[in-house]
Amino acid sequence: MPTPILVLNCGSSSVKYQMIDIDNEEVLASGMVEKIGLTDGNITHTTGGHKETIDETIADHTAALALVTRAFHTWGPPLEDVVAVGHRAVHGGERFRETTLINDDVIDGLTELSGLAPLHNPPGIAGIKAAQQALPNVPHVAIFDTAFFSTLPPEAYTYAIDREVAEKYHIRKYGFHGTSHSYVSKASAEFLGKNVEDVNQIICHMGNGASISAVRGGVAIETSMGLTPLAGLVMGTRSGDIDPGIFSYLQRVAGMDAQQVDNLLNKQSGMAGLADGASDFRDLWAKIDAGDANAAQAMDVYIHRLISYIGAYMAVLGRVDMIVFTAGVGENDNMTRARICDRLAGFGVKLDPAKNTPRNKDATEISAPDSSIAVLVVPTNEELAMARETYRVMN
- Given a contact cutoff of 8 angstroms between Cβ atoms, the answer to whether 134 and 68 are in contact is yes
Q: Give residue number: closest CB to ligand ADP.
A: 328
- Other CB atoms within a 10 A radius of the CB of residue 80 amount to 11
**Contacts of residue 137, Cβ cutoff 8 Å, sequence gap at least 6:** none
Q: Least separation, in Å, of the C-beta of 244 and ligand ADP?
A: 24
CA–CA separation, 386 and 84 (whole Å): 11
User: Among residue numbers 311 through 370, which ones bind ligand ADP (CB under 6 A)?
Assistant: 327-329, 332-333
Q: Least separation, in Å, of the C-beta of 81 and ligand ADP?
A: 28
User: Among residue numbers 94 through 153, which ones bind ligand ADP (CB under 6 A)?
Assistant: none
Binding of residue 72 to ligand ADP (CB under 6 A)? no
Binding of residue 282 to ligand ADP (CB under 6 A)? yes
Does residue 362 carry a catalytic annotation? Answer: no
CA–CA separation, 20 and 233 (whole Å): 32
Answer for which of 229, 236, 273, 379 binds ligand ADP (CB under 6 A) is 236
Q: Least separation, in Å, of the C-beta of 101 and ligand ADP?
A: 26
Stretch that binds ligand ADP, among 137-145, 273-281, 301-309, 313-321 (CB under 6 A): 273-281
Measured N-to-C along each axis, helices 245-253 and 258-267 cross at an angle, to the nearest 10 degrees, of 120
User: Among residue numbers 197 through 216, which ones bind ligand ADP (CB under 6 A)?
Assistant: 207-209
- Given a contact cutoff of 8 angstroms between Cβ atoms, the answer to whether 349 and 307 are in contact is no
Measured N-to-C along each axis, helices 61-75 and 121-134 cross at an angle, to the nearest 10 degrees, of 50
312-327 burial by CB neighbour count: b if 16+ within 10 A, else e? ebbebbeebbbbbbbb
CA–CA separation, 79 and 276 (whole Å): 45
Tell me the Cα Rg of the chain.
21
Catalytically annotated residue among 21, 23, 104, 145: 145
Torsional class of 348: left (φ above 0), alpha (ψ -120 to 50), beta (otherwise): left
Q: Least separation, in Å, of the C-beta of 212 and ligand ADP?
A: 14
Q: Least separation, in Å, of the C-beta of 119 and ligand ADP?
A: 14
How many residues interact with ligand ADP (rule CB under 6 A)?
Answer: 13
Question: Residue 179 or residue 332: which is nearer to ligand ADP going by CB?
Answer: 332
Would you please indicate which residues are annotated as catalytic (active-site) residues?
145
**Site residues (CB under 6 A) for ligand ADP?**
207-209, 236, 279-282, 327-329, 332-333
